[in-house]
Each structure stands twice: as C-alpha cells, then as structure tokens.
Amino acid sequence: RTLRRTMAAETEGIFARLANEVLEAAEHIVTRVDEGVAAIMHGKLPDGSRNIDSDPAADLDDDFVMDEDLGGSPLEGIAESVIGDIMGGQVGPQTPMEHFHAFRSAINWTEPFILYLMAFHAIVFVLCMWASRPSRSLVPRVVIMICVGILVRSAERLNTYAAQNWEAFSTQNYFDSKGVFMGIFLCGPLLVDSFLMLVIFLREASQLLVQVKTAELKRKKAKTEESKKNN
C-alpha cells in the first residue's frame, strides 16, 4: 500500500508539472499573439525591424522559428521531462518480501539446470539423514561434512566458472559477481544440512551423556548399598 501511495503521489506531481508547463506555453503563445496584434495596430513589431506591409502570419512563424533556434520553444523538452520523471519515479523492491518475490520471478523453475540442482540437494539431504541415524557410525557423517565443506569453500571459484560458461547448461546467467545465486541455491541448503547433522549429533551426545551419568549414579548407589550390607 505504501508503494502504491508513493507511486500515485509521484504520478500526480508529474501531471501537475505537465499542466504547469502547458499553461506557461499557452501564456507564451498568447503573448506572441498580443505582440502580433500590437504590430498590426501600430504598423510595426516591437523590435522595430518589420512594418505593417509584412505578412503577420509569416511574422509569427518567424518568431517561433527564432524561438526554436534559440532553444526557447514552449513545448520543447516537455515529453522528455515527463518520461524522465516517470522513469526516475520507478522504484525497485523495498521490503524483504518484495525482494523475495522479485528473486523468485527471476528464476526459471522449469529449466533442467534448476531441477538438477534441486534433485542434488534432495539427495544430499537424504544422505545426511541416513548418516545421522543413531545406528550409523561417525565415519559417514565426517565424510559428508568434509564434502560439504569443500563445496562451500569452492563456491567462489564455481561461481566464476559458471558465469563464464553458463550457456552450456543454463538458459540465462544467474551467476552475478556477488554470488547471490550461488549462496542461496548451493551454499545455503548445504549449510542447512550440516547444521541439521550437527544438531542431531549434539542431541545424541547429550543423550549419551545422560545415559553415562545415570549408569554412574546407579553404580555408586549399588556400591553404597553393598557397603551398608557388609557393615
């Protein structure tokens, strides 16, 4: 709503400026007509260089030609000014949601490159969940974490290479110099998978710590009871 109000206010300002320039042009034309009438009534124009024998219509045309030569045409530049104001009033995305919608609209979600990339992340997510099961050893987790770290560390070089060769696998160049696409579509999901694996690992470690402490307390309690019985 705020964006619409801003654009409406800017549009009203543009039309008000256009109306003022048209009124100024009309006043300029009326002034010229008055000067022509005065020249006809007195037998010469205000500058004293032409007399009543000359054609009034030709005099007026000559005046407008002189104005155009001097760059003073009343309507000259109005169109460019209005177009410039309209183009200058165009604003890009302002809120995070608008940036999200603009980014989503810029992606061709049906092209094979995007589909393959999403399939890759789905496979990596399944592998992470499989390796994070309590029955699995620590080795698969470490291998996956190392692979993720290598991919994330190489994201900048991959972005540069993809920006130079995007025609071979994509319909448009998604790879800007800042690496926004690479960060969102490659590094982001991989870091989320690593974070989930870390959370699951910490949860298992906390549960294991609780089990160890519980077993230790039970053992101490059993020793205490046995010592009491012996006494």
Question: How confident is the model at residue 68, as a pLDDT?
Answer: 45
Question: How confident is the model at residue 138, as a pLDDT?
Answer: 84
List C-alpha distances in Å: 152 to 39, 185, 186: 83, 11, 8
Question: How confident is the model at residue 178, as a pLDDT?
Answer: 85
Which residues are CB-neighbours of 159 under 8 A, at least 6 positions away? 175, 179, 181, 182
* SS3 state at 213: helix
Question: How confident is the model at residue 124, as a pLDDT?
Answer: 94
Question: How confident is the model at residue 177, as a pLDDT?
Answer: 85
Residue type at position 61: D
Question: How confident is the model at residue 45, as a pLDDT?
Answer: 46
Q: What is the pLDDT along the chain (231 residues), one digit of tens a residue?
A: 554 555 555 665 665 665 666 667 667 666 766 676 566 565 554 444 444 444 544 554 555 444 444 444 444 455 455 555 545 555 555 677 776 777 778 888 889 999 999 999 999 999 999 998 888 888 888 899 999 999 999 999 999 999 999 999 988 888 888 888 899 899 999 999 999 999 998 988 888 888 888 888 888 888 887 777 776
List C-alpha distances in Å: 198 to 2, 40, 126: 42, 95, 15
What tokens appear for 209 in the block?
A: 């710590």
Helix intervals (H) in 73-187: 78-89, 96-106, 112-131, 138-153, 155-164, 180-182
Question: How confident is the model at residue 215, as a pLDDT?
Answer: 87
Residues in the chain: 231
Question: How confident is the model at residue 94, as a pLDDT?
Answer: 64
Which residues are CB-neighbours of 134 under 8 A, at least 6 positions away? 204
Rounded distance between C-alpha atoms, residue 14 and residue 83, angstroms:
9
**3-state percent helix, strand, coil for the chain, nearest multiple of 5:** 75, 0, 20
- Burial zone of 132 (CB within 10 Å; 0-12 exposed, 13-18 middle, 19+ buried): buried
Residue type at position 79: A
